[in-house]
Each structure stands twice: as structure tokens, then as C-alpha cells.
Amino acid sequence: MRHLYGQSVYVETVGVEAREVDPFVVAVMAERGIDVSNHLSKSFDMLTETTFDLIVCLTPEAQTAANELARTQSLEVEYWPTSDPTHGTGSREQRLEAYRQLCTELEGQLMARFGTPDLLVHEG
């Protein structure tokens, strides 16, 4: 989201629980010129800012946590079902390909939901 839309949106990334950064994520994002190696994983409980307009969830568990937050906040919750490459098997290259596919899928969903980044820059 940050890579596509820059400073035009405020983005916070959280999960159901805080975890170490997945090395496959680091590798695939590096292929796209994005360094996430120092990313700090956070859980919903660790959020200090909760005045969001929208929460996009990628798992049913995250949707449940987001809906709980939405009970006390005025915000939208969207669930985008996605494949989970963390459960993949096979060679390193096969697993990386599953992560690449997810990255491409999410990029497409972002652009479908929020528009083409180039259009946002020219309209703003």
C-alpha cells in the first residue's frame, strides 16, 4: 500500500498476533525493490492509533478482531480472502512463487479498490 500510494494514505499493518518477519516475504518484496527486512510486526492489541476509516482483513481471524474494534469505532471492515503461502510446500522456488502470486493478487485488489496510483498522483 505504501509503495503504491505513498503519503496519500495513512497505513498501519497489523495481524492477529505479532510475529517475526517471514523471510519469504522479505525476499519477494526485495524483488520488487521494497525493503521490509526491518518491519516490526504488531497485533491489534498493540495499536496506538485506532481512528481508521477502513480495515482490510486477509484472514477470517483478522476479520473477527477488526469487527471487534469496529464495534466501538466508526470504520469499515472489508475481508479480502487470499491464499496463504505460509502453508505451502515444495522447493524454495515453488514457495517463493506462491508468495509472488499473493503479492500480485494483493496489488491487483488494492488498485481495484483504491484506483491506479498514477491517477491519484495526477488528480491530487
pLDDT in tens, 25-47: 999 999 999 999 998 888 888 87
pLDDT in tens, 55-94: 999 999 999 999 988 888 888 999 999 988 988 889 999 9
**Proportion of the chain in helix, strand, coil states, percent, rounded to 5:** 50, 10, 40
Cut 0.85: pTM above it: no
CATH class of 2-115: alpha beta
**CA distances in angstroms from 65 to 8, 48, 95, 109, 121, listed in the order given:** 26, 15, 28, 21, 33
